[in-house]
Amino acid sequence: MFQSFTESARPEQGPARLTALRAVMAKQGFSGFLIPRADAHQGEYVAPHDERLQWLTGFTGSAGFCAALLDRAGVFIDGRYRTQVKGQVALSHFTPVPWPEIKLGPWLADALSQGGRVAYDPWLHTPDQITEAEKALENSGITLEPSENLVDAIWPDQPAPPMGAVSVYPEDLAGETHASKRARLAKTLRSLGQKSMVITLPDCLAWLLNIRGSDIAKNPLPHGFAILYDTGHLSLFMPAEKLSAALRTHLGPEITPRPPEAFVPALHSLLGPVRVDTNSAPMKVVLELQEASVPWVAGQDLCLLPKATKTTAEIAATREAHLRDGAAMCEFLTWFDAQPIGSLSEIDVVTTLEGYRRATNALLDISFDTIAGTGEHGAIMHYRVTETSNKRLEDGHLIVVDSGGQYIDGTTDITRTLPVGTPSHEARTQFTRVLQGMIAISRLRFPKGLAGRDIDAIARFPLWTAGQDFDHGTGHGVGVYLCVHEGPQRISRVSELPLQPGMILSNEPGYYREGAFGIRIENLIVVEDSNPPIGADDRRMYGFETLTYVPIDLRLIRPEMLGPLEKEWINHYHGVCRDRIGPRLSDEARVWLEQATRPI
């Protein structure tokens, strides 16, 4: 099994560890220390070595941070984790803080008096994060100071840093050589008058060099740093034991492997201006450049946008991955519907679904821990079942199953909400509203230049009309055998990046009633040029191609709530499911598929 069910949250250990941390803080004269859920590469998923937030507090979510002061400790979490955090931290010692509604700077200003000194590890925070907090603390007399990591000082059995092997990613799947990619970006650097760019994001490094790694479970990422020069040459800072002879041959003469300890001295020797992405690079990079008086400029990592806009080869590859994954999902759903009501647990669902993906003989990993939450667990947006929390599926309940696979040709992410027995009228009503939002995004045609924030409300409108909403974005970017959560493309209230053809996104509105149930429906989609209807204006329009083809459960739909175009979309979608997925299925699953895709 790729997924473990061991309980990793240990809230009972938090108070003693917080006491030990405070002793170190006091000894060094600090009023506080910041503990983010982050590593030096700012990835959403981190290696066990970097699980400092979980080790200290017990909180296992994929985003958040703790501000530990001498008299209080705030755990800052967004809307996805506000239910989860209450059951994972010792509330007697750690106070959940709703973020970003309450930001770090003002919170510190309220909690500390003049002269307060708050330490942070500059490898784990970005310049933008530190700058935002410092601005909020202006005139407060409170300072933020770079420091060694104080949690590491009290973590006696901290795991070693990851040392996974690096592999070559096939050029026919990437659609472009790494030499071509480097040349493109170097040309941009020259046009901007910049001598080099620091690369710290592992998925950017993997994309640029057509490599993949194994340092992070469920994400084929190599940890390392790089400096790309305006000549197209590149210095790669990575342990030598990660790089095989075949990998070195793939990299070629224009890429120079160097040990990680050479990274900081290399920063000191650069000629400026050096491009640094202050939204993702460690603050340590800027501090070292400043110490060496190397001129630098803030600018987004030039890898991000071309990585997000997939090549024709990448899109073709990921289509095949989604068809393979869709067939595995349909085999699983066939099995699920055949089980007696009350006979299954959440763990049964997770293990069986992974088994069907493994049966494809192409699964390299799951793309994240499968979310299988029934009843009140469905309202925990990023719920992870453990041996302790495992719950049986009861008649009349729903189960949210959010899962995905990592294949050499693509990364998948799909959510289906399923009824156990006979669903309630309320559940069917809420499900239909969520479905209407998902259909609205799927059918959308929009002008070039619109960003994710411009269309996010469309998915929410059916819920808004009922006075409801959901506390997560409508969609996140997705890579191709890379991260299941990929930036910078998103469909959310805050995403200002214009959507462009080739960007893969999720389309996943939801509804969550704390303590009762949850609903989410998710397909992956890719931005494409849209043929305008007859009589349209002479302007470029975009739309979405659906990548995910797995039936949407008809038992949860109230057809009388749907308009003709919504019914037409569902029937067409289910027809494509039959045509594309049906030939890949067992006889039993084909029978199930015919019933699951009957017209409404």
pLDDT at residue 389, rounded to an integer? 95
The full set of domains in the chain, from first to last, is: 11-154 (3.40.350.10), 167-307 (3.40.350.10), 309-596 (3.90.230.10)
pLDDT at residue 203, rounded to an integer? 98
pLDDT at residue 538, rounded to an integer? 80
pLDDT at residue 83, rounded to an integer? 87
Q: Distance between CA 363 and CA 365 in Å, rounded? A: 6
pLDDT at residue 45, rounded to an integer? 87
The 3-state DSSP class for residue 87 equals helix
CB atoms within 10 A of CB 527: 22
pLDDT at residue 533, rounded to an integer? 75
Half-sphere exposure (Cβ direction) of 400: Cα atoms closer than 13 Å: 29
pTM score of the predicted model: 0.95
pLDDT at residue 43, rounded to an integer? 83
Q: Give the closest residue to 59 by CA, choosing from 20, 97, 104.
A: 97
Q: Distance between CA 142 and CA 127 in Å, rounded? A: 18
Which amino acid, 557? I
Q: Distance between CA 25 and CA 20 in Å, rounded? A: 9
With contact defined as beta carbons under 8 Å apart, do 123 and 263 qualify? no
DSSP tag of 503: B
Listed in sequence order, the residues at least 6 apart from 470 whose beta carbon sits closer than 8 Å to its beta carbon are 460, 463, 509, 510, 511, 512
Which amino acid, 310? K
Residue-by-residue pLDDT tens, the chain, 600 positions: 999 998 777 888 999 999 999 999 999 999 999 999 999 999 888 999 999 999 999 999 989 999 999 999 999 999 888 888 998 999 999 999 999 999 999 999 999 999 999 999 999 999 999 999 999 999 999 999 999 999 999 999 999 999 999 999 999 999 999 999 999 999 999 999 999 999 999 999 999 999 999 999 999 999 999 999 999 999 999 999 999 999 999 999 999 999 999 999 999 999 999 999 999 999 999 999 999 999 999 999 999 999 999 999 999 999 999 999 999 999 999 999 999 999 999 999 999 999 999 999 999 999 999 999 999 999 999 999 999 999 999 999 999 999 999 999 999 999 999 999 999 999 999 999 999 999 999 999 999 999 999 999 999 999 999 999 999 999 999 999 999 999 999 999 999 999 999 999 999 999 999 999 999 999 999 999 998 777 777 889 999 999 999 999 999 999 999 999 999 999 999 999 999 999 999 999 999 999 999 999
Q: Using a CB cutoff of 8 Å and minimum separation of 24, what contacts does 35-40 make? A: 35/65, 35/66, 35/67, 35/68, 35/151, 36/64, 36/65, 36/124, 36/125, 37/61, 37/62, 37/63, 37/64, 37/65, 38/65, 38/124, 38/125, 39/124, 39/223, 40/123, 40/124, 40/200, 40/282, 40/284
Residue with tokens 């931005």: 527
pLDDT at residue 536, rounded to an integer? 73
Which amino acid, 500? Q
